[in-house]
Amino acid sequence: MEKGRIGIDAGGTLVKIAYEESGRIKYRKTGYKEAKELLAWLKLIAPGATPSVTGGRAKWVKEHFFPDAMLVPEFEAVCSGADILRREEENSAAGQFLLVNIGTGTSIFIAGEGKCDRVGGSGLGGGTLTGLGSLLSGTDEFSELVGMAAVGSRQTVDLLVKDIYGGGDEPLNGDMTAANFAKGKGAGKDDLAAAIINMIAETLVLLASQIALARKIESIIYAGSTLAGNAPLKAALSAYTEAVGLKPVFFGNGEYCGALGALMAGAATSN
């Protein structure tokens, strides 16, 4: 592995790695319980490498594992990585785009053409799913909550517009939410998990779509670790985005935007 060809994104919940091997970029991730083993493995397979590190816990990685590591500003790394994936996976031309990066929380960026402006965000994200999920469903395991949501129905939890009107003369789409969790008493765990994911999705689309429409942007790119293996969230984001006349875009490796951007920043510095 070439010196400088490792990017590490040490976020609030996960450590994500992008590394170059035999001319190809590969990815790995782990939670913090296993992070020491993964980072030790990196040092073993690439003893001469100097990683580039980003994320909220980047200094922890630098202090304990790679003292010579280059620190890359988190927003810069995320925007840069997303721009690379956008061109590779979407065959998109150069230009600015709207990025919604859903990690533990969520940040919204206008990026591209060397630009990376955080224009919004929300405390809703993966941390909401696991934290609120633990309170309401009894587990904070991400995969379990996603599995529950996949078979649950938010209609037993959320008060919908059609629940209020009931006569088919609703001024809005009857399936729109009038009040999140307003019917939640006595709801099952699967339905509660579905309602949590729905609340995250519709809130983020509401925020992002207002920015997109104001700036005449026709699509919204969704990335971040909370989307990994999370079909219910992707489906909800897609449905709400299309409902407001915009195109939702997802990357195959979207959870690694920060790690990829860090890798590229380090490569540019070493050249």
Distances in whole angstroms, Cα of residue 46 to Cα of each of 1, 66, 200, 258: 6, 12, 39, 20
Q: Is residue 196 part of a domain?
A: yes
Per-residue model confidence as pLDDT tens digits over 4-37? 489 999 988 899 999 988 888 999 999 888 888 8
* pLDDT tens by residue, 72-102: 999 999 999 999 999 888 766 567 899 999 9
Range of the domain at 31: 6-74+256-269
What is the pLDDT, as a whole number, of residue 188?
A: 96
Structural domains counted in the chain: 2
pLDDT at 268: 67
**Predicted model pTM:** 0.91
Question: For the stretch 188-200, what's the b/e string if a residue is b when 16 or more beta carbons lie within 10 angstroms of its beta carbon?
Answer: ebbbbbbbbbbbb
Please list the ranges in the chain whose pLDDT falls under 70.
1-4, 91-94, 167, 268-271
For residues 52 and 64, what is the distance between their CA atoms, to the nearest angstrom? 14
Predicted local distance difference test score (pLDDT) of residue 45: 80
> Does 235 lie in the same domain as 262?
no
Residue 81 forms part of a structural domain: no
| Same structural domain, 13 and 38 | yes
The verdict on residue 112 lying in a domain is no
pLDDT recorded at residue 266:
81
Tell me, yes or no, if 37 is annotated catalytic.
Answer: no
pLDDT of residue 270: 61
CATH number at residue 144: 3.30.420.40
Catalytic residue among 21, 63, 74, 88: 74
Shared domain check, 158 and 220: yes
